[in-house]
């Protein structure tokens, strides 16, 4: 389905991003992996993708808080493969703390990585997509793109921004056969979620079990975590020809959370 295409997925050394990379590779796309981690572990994953799916996989260490590195990542992908056809803006970090104690540096980093990096990547990839008159841009948003939770001011602000950026880019590229959509998962069991549990325990004076059942899954009627593979399956569909008429959409995948 994606034979001959190239997909760049930011924040893809683990979690949702890695699941999307693997799903695209399975459909025949060459992929660019991006993110932080141990060099030997990243190389193991990169090489494994090439061997398992018979595609090319590159790794970019681009820092998603550095606009010049983001532009360079897109340029390097275009040089290596001839195009960037699918761009998934998935990189994200989190911090949980009351506003009056929220570190300014954490606010700046979350806005830069969760929101501004998507703008910089789209800005870099759009000219090539316009020239080829085909492209798929998929932003990983969140249920927090439309609703809020306490103690997550930067994350909620960033994800609301992702929703607005998605809609604006969709309108601008509507006649260029470039679709722009956002997937808005509820709680997915990823390292990002796992790492915020201790912060939430401290902020709310709760046990680990209370955080999982009374905070994370409280609003999800299914009482189940979304899986990375489910998010990846939707990302595959949005990259397909069948999704050509879906653009500017914020697609909820949250176990019914935002149905309240």
Would you name the residues annotated as active-site residues? Answer: 155
Contact 220, 257 (CB under 8 A): yes
DSSP letter (8 states) at residue 142: -
Contact 142, 184 (CB under 8 A): yes
Tell me which H or E stretch contains 238.
helix 228-238
Q: How many Cβ atoms from other residues are within 10 Å of residue 103's Cβ?
A: 11
Give the separation between CA 203 and CA 143, rounded to whole angstroms. 21
Residue 143's closest CA among 67, 231, 71, 206?
A: 231
Give the separation between CA 233 and CA 125, rounded to whole angstroms. 23
Question: Which strands make up the sheet holding 30-34, listed edge to edge?
Answer: 57-60, 30-34, 6-9, 86-89, 135-140, 178-185, 250-253
- Look at the chain and count its residues: 260
Contact 87, 122 (CB under 8 A): yes
Structural tokens at position 207: 């046990």
Give the three-state DSSP class for 176: helix
Q: How far is CA 256 from the centre of its chain?
A: 20
């Amino acid at each position: 389905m994606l034979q001959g295409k190239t997909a760049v997925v930011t924040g893809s050394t683990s979690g949702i991003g890695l699941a999307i990379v693997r799903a695209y590779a399975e459909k025949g796309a060459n992929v660019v992996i991006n993110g932080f981690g141990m060099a030997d572990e990243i190389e193991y994953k990169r090489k494994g993708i090439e061997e398992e799916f018979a595609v090319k996989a590159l790794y970019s260490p681009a820092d998603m808080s550095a606009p010049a590195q983001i532009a360079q990542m897109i340029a390097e992908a275009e040089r290596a493969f001839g195009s960037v056809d699918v761009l998934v803006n998935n990189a994200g970090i989190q911090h949980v703390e009351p506003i009056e104690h929220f570190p300014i540096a954490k606010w700046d980093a979350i806005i830069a990585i969760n929101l501004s990096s998507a703008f910089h990547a789209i800005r870099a990839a759009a000219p090539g997509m316009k020239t080829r008159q085909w492209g798929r841009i998929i932003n990983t948003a969140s249920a927090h793109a439309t609703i809020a939770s306490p103690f997550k001011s930067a994350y909620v602000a960033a994800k609301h921004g992702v929703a607005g950026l998605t809609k604006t880019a969709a309108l601008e590229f509507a006649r260029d056969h470039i679709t722009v959509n956002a997937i808005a998962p509820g709680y997915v069991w990823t390292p990002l979620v796992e790492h915020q549990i201790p912060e939430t325990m401290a902020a709310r004076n709760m046990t680990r079990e209370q955080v999982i059942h009374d905070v994370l899954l409280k609003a999800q009627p299914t009482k189940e975590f979304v899986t990375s593979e489910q998010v990846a399956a939707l990302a595959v569909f949005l990259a397909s020809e069948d999704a050509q008429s879906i653009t500017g959409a914020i697609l909820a995948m949250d176990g019914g959370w935002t149905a309240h």
